[in-house]
Amino acid sequence: MTDNNTKYIYIETYGCQMNFSDSEIVSSIMTENDYSITQKIDNADIIFINTCSIRDNAEQRVRKRLIQLNALKKKNPDLKIGILGCMAERLKSKLLEEEQSVDVIVGPDAYRDLPKLMLAVEDGQRAINVILSAEETYGDISPVRLDKNKISAFISIMRGCQNYCAYCVVPYTRGKERSRNPETILAEAEQLFDEGYRELTLLGQNVNSYRWEKKIMGFPELLSRVAKINPLLRVRFATSHPKDISDKLIQTIVRHPNVCRSIHLPVQSGSNRMLDLMNRKYDREWYLERIAFIKKHIPDCGISTDIISGFCSETEADHQQTMSIMREVGYEYAFMFKYSERPDTLAAKKYKDDVPEVIKSKRLTEIIDLQQQLSLTANKKNIGSVVEVLVEGFSKKSQHQLSGRNSQNKVVVFPKENFNIGDYVNVKISNCTAATLIGKAV
């Protein structure tokens, strides 16, 4: 344990990039308050689990983990366990009743209260704060970077979501949409560049509705300001909602070569009937028009997406519409999920989760198989070309191979030679799989 009075915190993070970014904010708040962060769970006095509620299996994973942590606590009764993030917000004090090993529950907008709550916990109490805020952006907090490579970092530019897609729990766990002061974003970005970071991803549930002080600055202006920090800084962003992705944003990307040629545009379904039930506020035709606009102005843009199979009342014909939109767009990459009903969402209240599990699985398998083919086709097009790679680390398989990504966000692996992490390297692609481009520096 500890050799002085400092308490050591181990943070385990589940779910989206926003959660990973929040864990860095929590680390900053706690280290400002005389706690230390440890990378070794065995050294921890306190374990924080930053949780995700997006699908039931994400919550089940945390429940299973809590059984293991409970066993750790039996061996070390002084160990404290905290649940942070979306599960804390969704389940509130119910989680304290259900999980006897848990000492503290803190929702995504209450992290500033953590040091105070931990004092109560040290006093032997159980503590909770799950108040959502209309203003909190943690804009003034400089996150403690927990990433390993020190090359790419995430900057949270806004919090919350109020799109209320029928299936989605996020508006309930992360509250109303609010944008962070651009000056704090730019200061953080500049500092990261000075520290040697070469790739920043601007994060929000829906970055296209970023607004500061009544439209003086929207997302295209912010993106442009970050891109101008230095041509050697790569800038990415996620996630965009198809209903809000503007011509102005696409034109901003065109103007800045260091804004990556990669857009994540979750389609969810190719069927207009499903999109309407999902409350997505666009239809297939609108989505395809946006894709056509992107491809016209940024012909080399990589496009990725999110897809849900088996949403309420989805028929085989609806599913085929999803398969056909995938072919039509030719996604480079997709995150693909089975619909999982979340309590209290619009869909849970209004519709029946009536697609049988076997059908959901069958359709998901078809979607995954198709995406595999589309990714391979997209990757094969790169064979023979030269791509610029920002090196992020060694390849998983060998210390003689480096790994990084190109502007389109594809993983590229090539022999190390004399190159190092953080270098930009031009790599000629000679081979590929559905997941990786393989080549050699030129």
170 binds ligand SF4 per the rule CB under 6 A: yes
Residue 342 contact partner, candidates ligand 5AD, ligand SF4, none, CB within 5 to 8 A by sort of partner: ligand 5AD
Quote the least distance from Cβ 276 to ligand 5AD, whole Å.
16
Residue 234 contact partner, candidates ligand 5AD, ligand SF4, none, CB within 5 to 8 A by sort of partner: none
Q: Which of 80, 342, 363, 410 binds ligand 5AD (CB under 6 A)?
A: 342
Q: What are phi and psi of 131, to 5 degrees?
A: -70, 130
Quote the least distance from Cβ 323 to ligand 5AD, whole Å.
16
298 binds ligand SF4 per the rule CB under 6 A: no
155 binds ligand SF4 per the rule CB under 6 A: no
Distances (CA, A) of 191 to 142, 146, 199, 200: 10, 16, 12, 11
Residue 161 contact partner, candidates ligand 5AD, ligand SF4, none, CB within 5 to 8 A by sort of partner: ligand SF4
163 binds ligand SF4 per the rule CB under 6 A: yes
65, with CB counted inside 10 A (0-12, 13-18, 19+), is middle
415, with CB counted inside 10 A (0-12, 13-18, 19+), is middle
123, with CB counted inside 10 A (0-12, 13-18, 19+), is exposed
Of the candidate spans 208-216, 337-345, 398-406, 411-419, the one that interacts with ligand 5AD by CB under 6 A turns out to be 337-345
337 binds ligand 5AD per the rule CB under 6 A: yes
A 10 A CB-CB count for 167 gives 25
Size of the site for ligand 5AD (CB under 6 A): 12
Q: How many residues does the chain have?
A: 442
Q: Which residues of 247-285 are buried (b: 16+ CB within 10 A; e: fewer)?
A: eebbebbeeeebbbbbbbbbbbbbbbebbebbbbebebe
- Using the 8-state DSSP alphabet, how is residue 417 labeled? T
201 binds ligand 5AD per the rule CB under 6 A: no
The residues in 307-336 that bind ligand 5AD, with binding defined as CB under 6 A, are: 308
Identify the CA nearest to 52 among candidates 29, 26, 22.
Answer: 22
Contact residues toward ligand 5AD (CB under 6 A) are 54-55, 167-168, 266, 268, 306, 308, 337, 339-340, 342
Contact residues toward ligand SF4 (CB under 6 A) are 161, 163-165, 168, 170-171, 205-206, 241
